[in-house]
Structure 1
Amino acid sequence: MRFSQRQGYSPTKDAIQTESMDDALRNSLWNVLQVVIWDTHKSKTPYSYTSHSNLFSLLRTYWSDYFKSPVDQIPHKIQDTIKAVRRYFFESEWYEVYDFMEFSCNLLGQSRSKFIALCNEVLEQEVSGYRLIDCKVTPITSEAELAAIEDSLAATKDNSGANAHLRRALELLSDRSSPDYRNSIKESISAVEALVKALVGDSSATLGAALKVISEQAPMHPALNRSLNSLYGYTSDASGIRHALLDDPNLDFIDAKFMLVACSAFVNYLRML
């Protein structure tokens, strides 16, 4: 916090930015694009034509797949092309800026991790209610929750089933136009199911049976064992708790986020056994 804010001369940010984006946040996100993308421009010839730039492939993808515009409308000079992207960025709605950051992230190669790290620094500093996880702008409320989700994605790289379920749960939760909380919860639970089946080497095992085998091999605290078995209750068959849970018409972001974070934490714990 700056001196002026500590002393009360300037207001501090006391509200998480979730349905809006102030100038400081928008400017800072553009600066990330500047550092990671625009500053890396190099021309294959002495001329500053867009088609001669090492960024031409990325820019053409912007025009064809993001802007949905004819690629022959890309400005000839690289400076004009970047200005056109900049104009769109600063004239967009707040949620379109996040769409653009997601799209850009997915186009990056080796610089993707740097891009994500810089974005998250900005999002935290400007008190945004979102973080960039696996190139998805995701609603999040604490760094501990963010770490749990990120760690679970990294921990399941060698388990394609669990990893795919976690990524899908995150995608459904992060969809700002039509979030699907019910199926996000289902995918979060399925990630745990997939992992425990792999750990016991039995693809037909139920979550409850697999947890029993795991707890016999690596005894765990009774309270944690009860928590894991409570999670099993959510995975019961069509007449059980999961069916009732997923039929609840009042499921919201809090429910889905809780399940994603809880299941991510369980995944991280089980991977350490």
Structure 2
Amino acid sequence: MSIRQKSFSTRMGYRPPQPVQIDSMSDELSSDIFNFIWNEFFSDLDLFVGHDTSYGGNDIQENNFKKTWTQFFHQSASVFSGSVPTYRINEMYNSLRWFAKYDFLEFCIMNLKTSTTRIETLCKRINSDVLEPNVAGFRFVKSLLVPVTSSTDLNTISTALTTDNGAGHFQKAVKELAKRKKRNTNQIAIEAILGAESAAKVFVQAKDSQKDPSNKTLGQLIKIIKEDHLLTINNAYSESMSKLYGYLSDAVRHGNLPDETEEISLAEAIYILESCSAFTNYLTAELAD
């Protein structure tokens, strides 16, 4: 849960709510991202980083600075024969375009060290403390930034990634979703439906050991689930998943889109991933009862 509440002016209607930031980054969000990263990875640095030990500082954080300087900003390592002002990182960050600031965030989370904090904890904290309060259009799922704007949807996908039923397919879908260039939205949908299909096979096998679901499609598995009354939920839910599978089977898996080179929209791909994740989580919970 976010540590912030809406401001007085927003609650009273004097200022409109912040729109979801998909194709941009506000100054507030940019500053909050940098402050979070600075406090986690650089805050104990002195004014300069270099070979002169009189500057002092934290060894882990000095190494973080040098790694960021050379590997992310691609600046010369030779400058450390003298010293580099630590404020230069902030200057260079501020010069980045909005999407490159997300690259910076991912780089720091994945490559820099802290004395105690785990990556998973950092990702959860920046989701709740920075990205969600600023209505950023991206959240960390595991250690990848993906375009998921709802905390409920984020939890649904994250839970599906931790199950044994179809997790591999959901991981592939999330990795594809995390791409910012050459993202294949059809592949996201395909992996999502295959993840739900795997979960349904496990569910049917567990509920009726006389059936062999190994060669069944999701549509066929849902039909078995409905006809054999294997779920207590209203049939409308299973029916919606069956229709979703039918669309995907015709349009995506078999290449029957109006234009075979056409891809479904990102919003549609996210909706399919969320729906399949929710269905998988439901089947998993039913087996656990």
Shorter-chain TM-score above 0.5: yes
Q: Is the 8 A contact 1:185 1:260 kept in 2?
A: yes
For 1:117, give the aligned amino acid: K
Q: 1:3 aligns with which of 8, 26, 29?
A: 8
5+ long unaligned stretches in structure 1: none
Q: 1:67 aligns with which of 57, 73, 81?
A: 73
Q: Measure, in 2, the Cα distance between the counterparts of 1:198 and 1:30.
A: 44
Aligned to 1:254: 267
Deviation at 1:107, TM superposition (A): 2.7
**1:1-273 equivalences in 2 (<5 Å):** 1-7=6-12, 11-39=15-43, 47-48=54-55, 53-55=59-61, 58-59=64-65, 61-63=67-69, 65-69=71-75, 71-73=77-79, 80=85, 82-107=86-111, 110-120=117-127, 121-154=129-162, 156=163, 158-159=164-165, 162-199=166-203, 200=205, 203-211=214-222, 216=228, 218-220=230-232, 221-234=234-247, 236=249, 242-243=253-254, 244-245=256-257, 247=260, 249=262, 251-273=264-286
For 2:230, give the aligned amino acid: A
Deviation at 1:123, TM superposition (A): 1.5
Question: In the TM superposition, what whole-angstrom CA distance separates every residue of 1:134-176 from its partner, at most 9, and x where no partner exists?
Answer: 222222232221221122122x2x45xx223212212222322
Q: Is the 8 A contact 2:184 2:263 kept in 1?
A: no
Distance 1:61 1:187, change over 3 A: farther
Distance 1:60 1:209, change over 3 A: farther
Distance 1:256 1:56, change over 3 A: same
Q: Is the 8 A contact 1:233 1:241 kept in 2?
A: no
Deviation at 1:49, TM superposition (A): 6.2
Root mean square deviation, CA, Å: 3.4
SS at match of 1:144: helix
Determine which structure has the larger helix proportion and give its number: 1
Question: In the TM superposition, what whole-angstrom CA distance separates every residue of 1:68-115 from its partner, at most 9, and x where no partner exists?
Answer: 4554455765x73x4333222111100001111122222367432332
Deviation at 1:133, TM superposition (A): 1.8
After superposing on structure 2, the runs of 4+ consecutive aligned residues of structure 1 that deviate more than 6 Å are: 40-43
Distance 1:67 1:167, change over 3 A: farther
SS at match of 1:132: strand
The alignment-based identity, stated in percent, is 26
For 1:166, give the aligned amino acid: F
Q: State the TM-score, normalizing by the size of structure 2.
A: 0.74
When the two structures are aligned, how many residues end up with a matched partner?
262
For 1:252, give the aligned amino acid: S
Q: State the TM-score, normalizing by the size of structure 1.
A: 0.78
For 2:231, give the aligned amino acid: P
Distance 1:56 1:218, change over 3 A: farther
SS at match of 1:39: coil
Question: In the TM superposition, what whole-angstrom CA distance separates every residue of 1:160-194 from its partner, at most 9, and x where no partner exists?
Answer: xx223212212222322332111111111121223
SS at match of 2:272: helix
SS at match of 2:20: coil
Q: Measure, in 2, the Cα distance between the counterparts of 1:196 and 1:73.
A: 58
Question: In the TM superposition, what whole-angstrom CA distance separates every residue of 1:11-65 from its partner, at most 9, and x where no partner exists?
Answer: 344422221111111111112112322236699x975468x71235544543554
For 1:254, give the aligned amino acid: A
SS at match of 1:268: helix
For 2:109, give the aligned amino acid: C
SS at match of 1:54: helix
